[in-house]
Amino acid sequence: MSSTPIAARHKGFNRAEIVDQNFTEFVQLWQGEVRARPRDHEPVLPGSALDAHGFRQLLESQLISRHLDLMARVLRVQNKVFYTIGSSGHEGNAMVARLTRHTDPAFLHYRSGGFMAERFRKLPGMDPVMDSALSFAASQEDPASGGRHKVWGSKPLWVLPQTSTIASHLPKALGTAIAIEQARRIGHTLPIPADSIAICSFGDASSNHATAQTAFNAAAWTAYQKLPAPVLFVCEDNGIGISVKTPSGWVANNFQHRSDLDYFFADGLDLASGYEQVQRAVDHCRGTRRPTFLHLKTTRIMGHAGTDFEIEWRSIEELVTVEASDPLLRSAAIALESGLYGKDELLALNETTRKRCFAAAEDADRRPRLQTLDEVMAPLAPYTPHAVQAEAERADYQDKRVAVFGGEDKLPEKQPPRHLAIQINQALHELMAKYPESLLFGEDVAQKGGVYTVTKGLHKTFKGNRVFNTLLDETVILGLAQGYANMGMLPIPEIQYLAYFHNACDQIRGEAASLQFFSNNQYRNPLLMRVASLGYQRGFGGHFHNDNSIAALRDIPGLVVGCPSRGDDAATMLRTMMALAKVDGRVCAYLEPIALYMTKDLYEAGDGKWQFAYPAPGEAMPLGEGRVYQADANDLVVFTFGNGVPMALRAARGIEQELGWKVRVVDLRWLAPLNDAFIAAQAKSAKHILVLDEGRKSAGVGEGIITAVVEAGFGSTPLERVVGADTYTPLAGAAFLVLPGDAEVVAAAKKLAARA
């Protein structure tokens, strides 16, 4: 290797220019021995598993990745490029792409330029330079995201677009690997070959993240039980996370002795020696179907991103040392020593690649970008109402229903009226019969039938391949759901309590609900997440079992949130949610009010007025449609949902007796998106409005209701809000001090009357 260029020692120089110059000077000054030029099928260097043809292509991929980075640094200041987190130093990940298939689903680290350039070779007619340039330029013609984000992604190459959230993609990569194997057990036809593996790359710093650790643990938990989980975790270890250095030897020490997570090391800085090491890891993962950890040695040059001026916090000596470890310098040495390239030929390839990348970037800059809000949001929440309604009402599986329920006379619509828990259970039986690709899973859902027996009998009916328990980890549960969805299944994950969702929220917020948006609707995560929710649970609880915070769900773009208050609504809503997932790929959250699971009575004990007949097949609840009780009553209109519905109906009796008012109760049922037009239509004729929201005063559903009323022009209508307190829910009877009750609803109505 040549001595360090004089320019590289000075602080004032642009480090990207220095890195670029280093390559040229290294080639020009190289004086090593030149071997006899190998044929294409011969090793590039003696003893290497990489042949000459493969090396040529990998080198070209490395150069493409490098010059895309250099191009981004130059054109960013001209507002022609909008992303400068580069792959420089990580170009060795091209070996992983070469040794895997384009049908192996890939969930990639943002430093995956080399991987992508090499994977593009897997299919004819694809251009890694132009496609990448369109993404860098945020062009509407970007085939990955349509200009919504700089992501590594490709539908034909099975690279599912990832955003920059740290480590959040690991659980769904594991879920995809498990889903590949699960498909065989349930007779589901995969969209990829049955011996595919899932690839997941990330940095050494990200490996410490809780979300990463939960994926590693779940992978080992799966393998420990002899269940296949063919995921290749690729830890690209460059020794630093932005500016925080990883302790030397930490990754190897942390991972090489873990049971049921098989460790391999590969030198990603040296194609000649690293190739066989990567191949061993890939072959092991594919052959054994076990979770495999590939520790890929890399480096990071040119900083974390274009805005990271490393010279401000690293010494010039350290920077020079890092830049000297550039994998492209080692590749140049292999190219020259092997005789595959002469100096002039190699420099010409470098310059040709540079011009190609800049030309593509200039071309991409001239292409149209997103110009309107409608264009931006088009793939976020696709909704085809007629197709969804037709699917929800489709009832051509009657023979399966009869078999599941044990006979024609045992069909649920032929039974007496039942309460909420029973009818959710019946609807789940029905939907799993309708959709053989559906799976239901979570904590305690199988043999036990769930904490509240809502899933009772499903395991017996559909067996353990479709109804099964998971480890106690909500992040993994939602990661599994995304994996199954990626493989064309319809997952129904259960989160045992709403409070448990919050520690795993990013799996929905940052991953599942964002995929359609960032992939321009090329990929989707159809899933129906069931969550035991809300307050008023008697004899059991405290905050973690009486959580009424829906704010974290309602502000996730594109997420559908529904909350039934009665059994027949529960069934028709479930039918629609499954249709939304099936037809439009939507992510749905189904909130089940715990306190209403077993509720049979409305006004007095034994009246049975909160039990309802099961809706016949063919009935479904349109998205956004509410239920109105006493539609012709205008004195007071109460907007509510969930536990608030029977509460408002009881309070309405007292209000009518004390004030003589006729009360209309409006059950919203759908909490996201709120149906503003429906709310406005109900508010239009109201003399008084009351918003009953058991959630907290701050950031509750009630705020959205009031906003809809005001924006519709009815802000002058006298209005009161009855809500929960801004506190966590305490244990035992104290819980009812922080939640609204019947008396508070009546008192609010009196307050409205007093204004007159």
719 touches 709 (CB < 8 A): yes
Average pLDDT for 691-696: 94
C-alpha 87/C-alpha 66 separation (Å) is 7
C-alpha 516/C-alpha 602 separation (Å) is 42
694 touches 548 (CB < 8 A): yes
Residue 641 has pLDDT above 80, yes or no: yes
Q: Reduce the DSSP state of residue 458 to 3 states and report it.
A: helix
DSSP one-letter string for 473-487: -HHHHHHHHHHHHHT
What is the predicted pLDDT for the residue at 572? 98
Nearest residue to 123 via CA among 141, 138, 143, 148: 143
What is the predicted pLDDT for the residue at 304? 86
Specify the range with the lowest mean pLDDT, choosing from 163-177, 183-197, 554-568. 163-177
Q: How many other CB atoms sit within 10 Å of the CB of residue 37?
A: 11
- Cα three-residue angle 509-513-516, rounded to 5 degrees: 140
H helix runs in 137-209, sequence order? 170-186
C-alpha 75/C-alpha 37 separation (Å) is 38
Average pLDDT for 377-396: 97
Average pLDDT for 537-563: 87
C-alpha 174/C-alpha 166 separation (Å) is 16
64 touches 117 (CB < 8 A): yes
127 touches 134 (CB < 8 A): no
Average pLDDT for 476-481: 98
Please state which of the four CATH numbers 3.40.50.970, 3.40.50.300, 3.40.50.11540, 3.30.1330.20 is assigned to the domain occupying 385-596: 3.40.50.970
Identical fold, 385-596 and 627-754: yes
Residue 14: pLDDT band with limits 50, 70, 90 = confident
503-542 burial, b at 16+ Cβ within 10 Å, e below that, comes to ebebbbbbbbbbbbbbbbbbbbbbbbbbbbbbbbbeeebb
Residue 306: phi, psi to the nearest 5? Answer: -60, -25
Token pair, residue 105, equals: 């689903």
Residue 12 has pLDDT above 60, yes or no: no
**CB neighbours of 612 closer than 8 A, spacing ≥ 6?**
417, 418, 423, 566, 567, 568
Taking only the tens place, the pLDDT of each residue in 647-660 is 999 999 999 999 99
Average pLDDT for 151-168: 88
DSSP one-letter string for 493-527: EEESSHHHHGGGTHIIIIIGGGHHHHTTTSS---E
CA quadruple 637, 638, 641, 645: dihedral, nearest 10: -110
What is the predicted pLDDT for the residue at 164? 62
Residue 306: pLDDT band with limits 50, 70, 90 = confident
Token pair, residue 381, equals: 């929440």
Residue 3 has pLDDT above 50, yes or no: no
Terminal alpha carbon distance of the chain? 90
Residue 247 DSSP one-character state = P
Residue 522 has pLDDT above 50, yes or no: yes
Average pLDDT for 212-236: 97
User: What are residue 297's DSSP bridge partners?
Assistant: 237, 267
- Residue 378's Cβ-count burial label (10 Å; 0-12, 13-18, 19+) is middle
What is the predicted pLDDT for the residue at 6? 44
263 touches 256 (CB < 8 A): yes
Fold of 15-368: Rossmann fold (3.40.50)
The pLDDT mean for the chain works out to 94
What is the predicted pLDDT for the residue at 2? 43
Helix axes 271-288, 327-337, angle to 10 degrees: 110
Sign of the four-CA dihedral 300, 305, 310, 311 = positive
Residue with tokens 């995201």: 145
What is the predicted pLDDT for the residue at 252? 97
Q: Please give the CATH number for the structural domain made up of 627-754.
A: 3.40.50.920
Taking only the tens place, the pLDDT of each residue in 711-729 is 999 999 999 999 999 888 8
C-alpha 327/C-alpha 334 separation (Å) is 11
Regarding predicted confidence, which is higher, 84 or 260? 260
SS (H, E, C) 2-55: CCCCHHHHCCCCCHHHHHHHHHHHHHHHCCCCCCCCCCCCCECCCCCCCEHHHH
What is the predicted pLDDT for the residue at 108? 96
Token pair, residue 10, equals: 């000075």
Residue with tokens 């998205």: 623
Average pLDDT for 365-371: 96
What is the predicted pLDDT for the residue at 546? 80
C-alpha 562/C-alpha 529 separation (Å) is 10
Q: How many other CB atoms sit within 10 Å of the CB of residue 352?
A: 13
Share of the chain above pLDDT 70, in %: 98
The C-alpha R_g of the chain, in whole angstroms, comes to 30
Token pair, residue 286, equals: 């594919």
Nearest residue to 589 via CA among 524, 670, 522: 670
The domain segmentation of the chain, as residue ranges, is 15-368, 385-596, 627-754
255 touches 208 (CB < 8 A): no
Average pLDDT for 338-342: 97
118 touches 61 (CB < 8 A): yes
